Amino acid sequence: MLALKKMIADLQRMKKAGRKIVGVVAWDYPVAQIADHAGVDLVSVGDSVGVNLWGQAPHEISIDEMLVVCRAVRRGVKRAVVSVDLPAHEQNADSALRLKDCGADIVKLLGSADLVRAVVRAGIPVFAELHGGKDGPAMLVDHARRLQDAGASLLDFRHSGPLAGEAVARAVSIPVIGGLGGGPWLDGRLRMVHAAIGYGFSNLGQATDQYANVAQVTHDALAAYAEDVRAARQIKGQRA
């Protein structure tokens, strides 16, 4: 039996209960289905699809392209919360509304507290990015509080580090989830499925510390398929 649909409030209750939130980045229907069936809490449709799946330059992806990926993932996810990124050059409430209309439960954006407030006023839940780095823990805590006060429902704290990460997670009541450079000191983690399973050209012929090496398995399977075709043998998985 399919589990009940998760809501953003469920993720917020998980933080209060001290339960870690499992998030993944997915870009297509079959991977979204698999992730949802595996029991993740959050599926994020990242604008990283442009670079990592389509070979685009950074920030080249358009809002129209994000709508296509949003719809594909939405069809595959029945239970987890679906977040969709606003492209970097489309950080506005009108574009956020288009993502909500295509099936996003929450929209992830880069912007300031003012932008968060404008998107929330338009009736769209916000997953706000917070970037560590040069700022110290006190400034990052202040920034996180301003994003929360503006109405953000979740925070993606990138490059948090254990000191600032723990300080921010304790300072706000909304879940703080770590994408790049996150760690167990946050309320949850967010990882690209393709990275977690080792599905990239760079994984070929390499020892991997990922959870799998799907690139190597795929390569070997296709090489075996090619060998059967060239030897005039019936291919596996297809009846005559």
pTM (predicted TM-score): 0.92
Q: At 213, is the pLDDT very low, low, confident or very high (cuts 50, 70, 90)?
A: very high
- CA 128 – CA 152 distance, rounded (Å): 6
Mean pLDDT check: name the lowest of 30-34, 82-86, 87-91, 234-238. Answer: 234-238
Domain extent listing, the chain: 8-196, 198-240
Q: Where are the beta strands (DSSP E) in the chain?
A: 21-25, 42-45, 81-85, 106-109, 126-131, 154-158, 176-178, 188-192
Distance between alpha carbon 208 and the CA centroid of its chain, in Å? 22
- CA 121 – CA 114 distance, rounded (Å): 11
Mean pLDDT of 73-80: 97
- CA 11 – CA 42 distance, rounded (Å): 9
What residue has token string 């949802």?
36
What CATH class has 8-196?
A: alpha beta
**At 69, phi and psi to the nearest 5?**
-70, -40
Within 107-182, where are the H helices? Answer: 113-121, 137-149, 162-171
Percent of the chain with pLDDT over 90: 82
- CA 108 – CA 127 distance, rounded (Å): 4
Mean pLDDT of 181-205: 91
CA angle 119, 124, 126 (to 5 degrees): 75
